[in-house]
Structure 1
Amino acid sequence: MGRAVNITLKSFKVKKANINIILTDYISVKELNKKFLKHNYETDVLAFRLDEEELEGEIYISIETAEKQSEEYKVSLTNELSRLAIHGTLHLIGYNDATEKEKAEMHKIEDEILLKLKARNG
Structure 2
Amino acid sequence: MRLEIDFIDELDEITTEQIQTLEKLLNLAAETENVNEGSEVSISFVDNERIQEINREYRDKDQPTDVISFAMEELGEDEMEIIGVDMPRVLGDIIISIPRTKEQAEEYGHSFMRELGFLAVHGFLHLLGYDHETDEEEALMFLKQKEILDQYGLTR
TM-score normalised according to structure 2 size: 0.70
Q: 1:12 aligns with which of 15, 30, 33?
A: 33
Q: 1:85 aligns with which of 120, 125, 129?
A: 120
Aligned 8 A contact 1:20 1:57 in 2: yes
Show the 5 A alignment for 1:1-122: 1-16=22-37, 17-51=39-73, 54-118=89-153
What is the RMSD of the two structures over their aligned residues, measured on CA atoms? Answer: 1.7
Which is further off, 75-84 or 29-38?
29-38
Q: 4+ residue stretches of structure 1 with deviation over 4 A?
A: none
SS class of match (2:71): strand
Q: Please list the CA deviations of residues 40-95 of structure 1 after superposition, one character each: whole Å capped at 9, or x if unmatched.
A: 22210011123556243111000000001101111110111000000000000001
- Higher share in helix: 1
Structure ranking higher on relative contact order (CA contacts 8 Å, 6+ apart) = 1
Alignment match, 2:11: none
Distance apart, 1:101 and its partner CA: 3.4
Structure 2 unaligned runs (5+)? 1-21, 75-82, 84-88
- Count of equivalent residues: 119
Structure 1 unaligned runs (5+)? none
Aligned letter for 1:9? Answer: A
* Separation (CA, whole Å) in 1 of partners of 2:33 and 2:44: 22
Identity score, percent: 33
Which is further off, 45-54 or 8-17?
45-54
Aligned letter for 1:72? Answer: E
Aligned 8 A contact 2:91 2:128 in 1: no
Aligned 8 A contact 1:18 1:55 in 2: yes
Aligned 8 A contact 1:55 1:92 in 2: no
Aligned 8 A contact 1:23 1:60 in 2: yes
Aligned letter for 2:52? Answer: K
TM-score normalised according to structure 1 size: 0.87
